[in-house]
Structure 1
Amino acid sequence: MEQVTALQYVLVAVCALLAGTLGGITGYGTGLLMPLVLAPIVGADAVVPIIGVSALLTNGSRVVAFRDEIDYRRALVIGCMALPTCLLGAYGYTFLSGSEAAILIGTFLIVMVPVRMTLKRLHTRLSGGGLAAAGAGYGLLVGGTAGSGVVLLSILMASGLNGRAVVATDAIISMVLGVVKTGAFQVFGALPLSSWVMAILVGLSATPGAFIAKRLTETLPIHIHNAILDAAIVCGSVILIAQALR
């Protein structure tokens, strides 16, 4: 990791707080937005492991803030299927973070918004084997990329969850996978002490954002929150594609 100045640490902390607040509202934020800040400071190779460690704190704070909204059944199905593929993705993360994959993921997610709305009108939801398969695919992505949390957001909404239940269930799944991912990166030698320091800074700075977001969403009608989630999916997908093309 490159030498980091005090001013850069301050910049990272401020951006992490903003991303943590956004993540508490939309279900993602830190993993997708922080790489834009971190890559020029620490180098591209260090970004994915740093985000993986910081996610333990950011998702942990969301679990505490939104604990009454967690759907444990969906979390168990997706989490169990995603664990083994997450390990595989972490092992080969350098191969899975290419521009072609980002373009494919981003395009898929944009298409999923109208598809999910159509399924809702037809009273059809992602469940059973489809939900399990989606969980396995997500595990592979989250193990090997930063910012793929937007995929889990789309899966949970397609399964019938809404509003704060999406944020809460996303957080507990992501926290468990984050433990696995961090352990894998540590074993593979991708987490030197300097990366741990930066990751802890990001995580601690983003933590208050979950509680700020909880206050902001308490007065939001469910249809407004769902509209924000859909907009977040599209915006996040566009960012993924733009990063890949750049």
Structure 2
Amino acid sequence: MMESILWQLPVVDLLVIAISAFAAGICSGMTGFGGGLLLPPILAPLLGVQHVVPVLSVAMLLTNLHRFSLYRHNVNRRLTGIVLITMIPAVILGTSIYLSLPHDAIAIVLGGFLLLSIPLGRILAARKFQLGPVGLAGFSAVFGVISGTTSGSGVLMVPVLLGAGLAGTAFLATDAAISIAVNLTRALVFNQSGDLQWGIVVAALLIGLCTLPGNYLARWILRRTSLRVHARIMEVVVLAGGITLLWGPVKAAFAG
């Protein structure tokens, strides 16, 4: 049971989760993504890879609700509406696909996405991705399917929002609104399927609470730190996390 896994974790492991969640909150508060990329490698060996996306759906929902409350007056409602029209049904489809995957396949999907997120994010940013309403709706549908099957897909939405002319608090508020819709939709699908057990909700809420101080610290850091340096550090951590998640299935395949 998820409850026994959670409560039997050593204190050191709980501290690692809390510190990692706090760091993820800082990253998310600075760039609009980060929590879903940094936490899977930490949570997978401790809670089980099959619980990673359900836990992060609730935890990141709490994180983004808090971030949205900080910048809510700056949200771009028109852009958010265009994104959500096609994204929400696609998230439902993607989450349904995730629920049908075996544990090793989940690890491969999560690890593979972490590794691919680095070059994909760079390519989209370098091309200054700009989309009209129809193109944005189409991209959002693809983004929704990816968001339903992985964690940390918000990195793909970043260059799209920047290409739409959003920056600063307007970017953070709009990204938070989109992320809230993604995580709420996933959480509802997981709850409907019975995969959002009480133990998962408790773990997720505790992790989410640990991220909240990071949102405040992120505002302070943003005024004093280069985002370029932060982005490079994130890439190194994400690369290591992707390799970690893929190691188990690859090792098992060769052993077989």
TM interval, short-chain normalised: 0.7 to 0.9
Cα offsets for 1:125-146 (capped at 9, x unmatched): 2222111111111111111212
Does the alignment pair 1:110 with 2:119? yes
Q: CA deviation at 1:161?
A: 2.4
| Partner SS, residue 178 of structure 1 | helix
Contact 1:55–1:203, Cα closer than 8 Å, also in 2 = yes
Pairing partner for 1:64 from 61, 69, 72: 69
Residues 111 and 89 (structure 1), Cα distance of their counterparts in 2 relative to 1, 3 Å cut: closer
| Partner SS, residue 242 of structure 1 | helix
Does the alignment pair 1:140 with 2:164? no
Greater shift in the superposed pair: 210-219 or 42-51? 210-219
Contact 2:117–2:155, Cα closer than 8 Å, also in 1 = no
Alignment of 1:190-205 (within 5 A): 190-205=195-210
Q: CA deviation at 1:40?
A: 1.4
Q: Which residue number in structure 1 is paired with residue 243 of structure 2?
A: 242
Residues 108 and 48 (structure 1), Cα distance of their counterparts in 2 relative to 1, 3 Å cut: closer
Q: CA deviation at 1:219?
A: 5.5
Q: CA deviation at 1:33?
A: 0.9
Q: Which residue number in structure 2 is paired with residue 99 of structure 1?
A: 108
Contact 1:35–1:47, Cα closer than 8 Å, also in 2 = yes
Q: When the two structures are aligned, how many residues end up with a matched partner?
A: 238
Q: Which residue number in structure 1 is paired with residue 175 of structure 2?
A: 170
Cα offsets for 1:44-74 (capped at 9, x unmatched): 1111100001111100111012223322222
Q: CA deviation at 1:176?
A: 1.8
Between the aligned partners of 1:155 and 1:232, the Cα distance in structure 2 is 22
Q: CA RMSD in A?
A: 2.8
Between the aligned partners of 2:230 and 2:156, the Cα distance in structure 1 is 12
Residues 118 and 33 (structure 1), Cα distance of their counterparts in 2 relative to 1, 3 Å cut: closer
Residues 10 and 238 (structure 1), Cα distance of their counterparts in 2 relative to 1, 3 Å cut: closer
Does the alignment pair 1:34 with 2:34? no
Between the aligned partners of 1:128 and 1:232, the Cα distance in structure 2 is 33
Between the aligned partners of 1:7 and 1:236, the Cα distance in structure 2 is 21
Cα offsets for 1:139-179 (capped at 9, x unmatched): 11111212222122233223332344332211111112211
Greater shift in the superposed pair: 104-113 or 141-150? 104-113
Residues 218 and 134 (structure 1), Cα distance of their counterparts in 2 relative to 1, 3 Å cut: same
Q: CA deviation at 1:204?
A: 0.7
Does the alignment pair 1:77 with 2:82? yes
| Partner SS, residue 4 of structure 1 | coil
Residues 240 and 154 (structure 1), Cα distance of their counterparts in 2 relative to 1, 3 Å cut: farther
**5+ unaligned residues in a row in structure 2: which ranges?**
248-256
Q: Which residue number in structure 2 is paired with residue 87 of structure 1?
A: 92
Q: CA deviation at 1:13?
A: 1.5
Question: Aligned AA for 1:35?
Answer: P
Q: CA deviation at 1:102?
A: 5.3
